[in-house]
Amino acid sequence: MEIAFIPSPSTGVIHLGPLPLRGYAFCIIIGVFVAVWFGNKRWVARGGKAGTVADIAVWAVPFGLVGGRLYHVITDYQLYFSDGENWVDAFKIWEGGLGIWGAIALGAVGAWIGCRRRGIPLPAWADALAPAIAFAQAIGRWGNWFNQELYGKATDLPWAVEISEGAGREAGTYHPTFLYESLWCIGVALLVIWADRRFKLGHGRAFALYVAAYCAGRGWIEYMRVDEAHHVLGLRLNVWTSILVFVLAVAYIVVSNRLRPGREEIVEPGAVTLAKPSSDGDKDEKATGDKGEDEKADAEAASDDTADAEAGSEADAGSDDTADAGAKPAGGKG
C-alpha cells in the first residue's frame, strides 16, 4: 500500500526565460506585500494615513532581512565558517536561512527610524502590523518547502512531506514542520485580530501578544525538527529563545497594561489634523444653522406675543368703551 504524502518540488527555481525565480525568495516577497497591504488597512482603521505603512516598511524590511540573515549565520556559523565550507555562502540568502528573532529585532530598529522620521509612535505602528507580520510568516514558511529544509522527524502520516536525496538530507517522509508553523502563524494572526477588537489593545500590547503566541507554537515545532542546531542543556537553542522571548512578551503585556491602560487615541497627528477641519466645520455650520433657526423661531414667537398683546389691549379698550357707553344712559335715568 502506497503511503500518502505531500510531494516536494523537484526544484526550487523556476526560469522565466533568462530570469531565475527562486521559490524561497518568491514566498518572502509575497509575504512582505501581504504584510504591507493588510497592515495599511489596519493602520488606516486606527486613524493613520494611507501609505504610511509602506513608507516605514522601506526602512523595516531591509533591516529585517539583514537581521534575520545575521541571526541565522551567527547561530549556524558552522555551515559557513568550518573546514570545507565557503564563507561566501553566508550571503546567499536565496538558498534559505532567515532567523525570525533577528528579523524582528533589527526590523524593529528600521521601523523605529521610519516612525521617528514621520513622528509616529512605534508601539501603535507595531500593533497595526502584528497580525500582518504573522500572515507574512505563514506565507514565507512555504519557502522552506521549495528548498526541502526545516522538516521534522520521520513519519508515515498522510500529511508527511516527501524529501528527496540531497546534500545533508536523506530521502524519506517527514513531519512538515514548515506547514505546522504556517498554520500556527495564521492562528496567531486571527487571535491578535480578535483580541485587539475585543480588548482594544494599545501601546504595543497587540504586538506583544503576537510575539508571545508565536513563541508558544515555535517552541514545540522547533522541538520536532531534526536539522542540525546548537543545543543548550539538551534543548535546541531556538527552543530556549522561544521560552525567553515568550516570558518577556507576557511581562510587557502585564506591565504595560498597568502603566498605560487603554489605547492611543491619536496614532498619526497629521492624519487627525487633516480630518478635523471638515468634521468640525460641519459641526460649526450645523451649530450656526441651528442657532439661526432658533433665533428666527424666537423672533417669530416674540412677534406673535407682541401681536397677541396688542390685540388684547385693543379688546380691553373696546370693552371699556362699551361699558362707559352703557353706563351713561343709566345714570341719566336715575
The predicted structure's pLDDT at residue 287: 43
| Ramachandran area for residue 21 (φ above 0: left; ψ -120 to 50: alpha; else beta) | beta
The predicted structure's pLDDT at residue 21: 80
The predicted structure's pLDDT at residue 317: 45
Q: Which residue positions in the chain have pLDDT lower than 70?
A: 1-3, 272-334
| 8 Å CB contact between 159 and 139 | no
| Ramachandran area for residue 82 (φ above 0: left; ψ -120 to 50: alpha; else beta) | beta
> Which position has the grid cell 529585532?
105
- Which one, of 160, 206, 214, lies nearest residue 184 by Cα? 214
3-state secondary structure of 15: strand
CA-CA-CA-CA torsion for 11, 71, 105, 195, nearest 10 degrees? 50
The predicted structure's pLDDT at residue 77: 86
The predicted structure's pLDDT at residue 268: 94
3-state secondary structure of 220: helix
The predicted structure's pLDDT at residue 329: 40
Kindly give, in sequence order, each residue whose CB lies less than 8 Å from that of residue 247, ignoring residues fewer than 6 positions away.
none
